Structure 1
């Protein structure tokens, strides 16, 4: 903690969430493994080749599933980068998969994944949808085995908190329609909303049920929970660049009831609800607020109906904004000055009176110049106290 700081990251986040005075606005980080590796090398924290660091950081959930969840060296180094950039990072707690053996490249749901390479990095996408060929709830019931909460071990949760008492922690959460699309395939998933609503209700009930039980068990393992700043991510990508991907009626029927159960569970356990929701979602935002979100990410303000001034004016007293630094345009393609101007504007507009956490809109991409990343956090640190 530098001499300018008078609060820990946990205290800073909590002050923003409770709308109390803060020494400066908190700053958070979202970035791909390639970006984190570049930052580790930039700060001279590792002699390893960048590709080795990426591999260490980028272990996907199915590669981790039979692992011991020991924090890899590169993850420790990534957190050191955060400290050097004054980033108030969130420590993510994870349960350990101990269920039936699953093939490499698969997950406990039976989905299989492939790696997609692009210019400067890679990502994974689902290549096999295990429920794609089923035509009824009865067929799924008879032929598919749902994962069981007992397939995960929660006993390592308490150890993961040690040493990070001054940081916000993240535990549990849900994003069921994402997994619905993995299970059924994207096209069939959207058609199901109209043609097979009984299948949608059935699968989402199963997915919400599993994530709810997993979240409960994680909460139970957090030591001295009342002294922690706990975040639970209840996510769903409801928007496109121009509007909603789903009708409000479908969102209200299929998703909001389960999301409310998750949010109620979080609030009952003293957690704040972090809601990640890509796209232009203003039309459904009042419903999401009524359902119980506390923090809205990512604030893609260049999209239709998502202007910062309007969001702050209409919803700024009800929710905290997280994000706002454009990772599609400004960060990868703008100048250092462009980044500085955008961060300052976000602080002025979204941070007026508090209620804002400085962060990129989504994962910073590998084609982003290091200078722009440094500008984001240096500017945020410099001007985040001027609120």
Structure 2
């Protein structure tokens, strides 16, 4: 059973030879891991991913030369946090001053034509063997926060719904165009499309479920239908505690949900597996806030072993971090996690 089969069978809740996995980590974490493992620090991470024997490969369209008109997605302007280039946040918002829907529509929106869509041709074996996920193709609310500011877009949703609709529609149009071109350019190579969004925080949803259904669900459903058109799997991924949306995902035909942040309120892995495990394939689960940073190797091994025990019930689990491993995550703990995933520890 190769990696592609392993992941797709897990999504269908079919028997697999082992729980599949994915990796996401900050650049500095990768540097330390490569040093520890004695492997090349490849730009595409392939040496590291192979060393960890992970089953998923993430791909994205690349900007054409001169195609990045802003420097950052959607034109939001970033500032460094604590002086680190890898740790940044939006600092000003190009649609913040807009007063009318016409101003929003007249803005110089990003174009799908700014990208190179064809995947590199030197990785044919990887595309055939691994589960290929088109990453971050359908982000709407997070992009709107970068354009309007979090206060601005949420006030629009509450009091100026036509403004919110115009902003979300502009983002969704770009997302749909970019995703369609990516799938058309790589027919038969991409297995899964990430259409998630950050609509929740540590303590739960950032908006009511009703507001999510009113403003965001229709655009997500459009992406789901696009996935069906190309026979690829839609996968909703986001941060925080958005368990309240799981029944909607099931109704919409979204079979994958992640990256399940077990540290967030309401995200107890065992409870979610019991309640939704027959309908949803859960991704994530490895605690990146506490155990991976603060724990010992033994704690990490025991944590991963428990996740595998719960996740193995009726299949439907792809193991990996709840968020990208941060720079302060000890390399030995990350290595321990992936050795535990492959069964190479005392657990």
TM-score of the two chains, using structure 1 as the length reference: 0.83
- 1:19 aligned to 2:10? no
**Residue correspondence of structure 1 range 68-87 to structure 2 within 5 A:** 74-76=42-44, 78-87=45-54
Tell me, in whole angstroms, the C-alpha distance in 1 between the residues paired with 2:146 and 2:35.
35
Q: 1:115-152: CA deviations, max 9, x gaps? A: 2236x88322222211100111022334x222222233
TM-aligned CA distance change 1:38 to 1:317, over 3 Å: same
Paired residue total: 344
Residue of structure 2 equivalent to 1:167 = 130
**Residue correspondence of structure 1 range 1-387 to structure 2 within 5 A:** 7-46=1-40, 74-76=42-44, 78-97=45-64, 102=69, 106-107=71-72, 109-117=74-82, 122-142=86-106, 144-154=107-117, 156-157=118-119, 159=121, 161-164=123-126, 165-171=128-134, 173-223=137-187, 225=188, 228=189, 230-382=191-343
What stretches of structure 2 of length at least 5 have no aligned partner? Answer: none
Find the residue that maps to 1:321 and give its secondary structure: strand
Find the residue that maps to 2:260 and give its secondary structure: coil
TM-aligned CA distance change 1:250 to 1:99, over 3 Å: farther
Q: 1:81-101: CA deviations, max 9, x gaps? A: 221222223141424335667
TM-aligned CA distance change 1:346 to 1:127, over 3 Å: same
Tell me, in whole angstroms, the C-alpha distance in 2 between the residues paired with 1:169 and 1:100.
24
Tell me, in whole angstroms, the C-alpha distance in 2 between the residues paired with 1:160 and 1:348.
37
Tell me, in whole angstroms, the C-alpha distance in 2 between the residues paired with 1:236 and 1:140.
21
Find the residue that maps to 1:163 and give its secondary structure: helix
Tell me, in whole angstroms, the C-alpha distance in 1 between the residues paired with 2:20 and 2:129.
13
Tell me, in whole angstroms, the C-alpha distance in 1 between the residues paired with 2:67 and 2:119.
21
Tell me, in whole angstroms, the C-alpha distance in 2 between the residues paired with 1:280 and 1:148.
32
Q: What is the deviation of 1:229?
A: 5.3
Q: What is the deviation of 1:358?
A: 1.2
Tell me, in whole angstroms, the C-alpha distance in 1 between the residues paired with 2:337 and 2:74.
38
Contact 2:278 2:314 in 1 (8 A): no
Contact 2:285 2:320 in 1 (8 A): yes
Find the residue that maps to 2:285 and give its secondary structure: strand
Tell me, in whole angstroms, the C-alpha distance in 2 between the residues paired with 1:101 and 1:368.
31
Q: 1:181-237: CA deviations, max 9, x gaps? A: 1111121121111121101111111111111111111111115x1xx4511001111
Tell me, in whole angstroms, the C-alpha distance in 2 between the residues paired with 1:44 and 1:301.
31
Tell me, in whole angstroms, the C-alpha distance in 1 between the residues paired with 2:199 and 2:172.
17
Contact 1:14 1:229 in 2 (8 A): no
Tell me, in whole angstroms, the C-alpha distance in 1 between the residues paired with 2:295 and 2:103.
52
Tell me, in whole angstroms, the C-alpha distance in 1 between the residues paired with 2:201 and 2:18.
32
TM-score of the two chains, using structure 2 as the length reference: 0.92
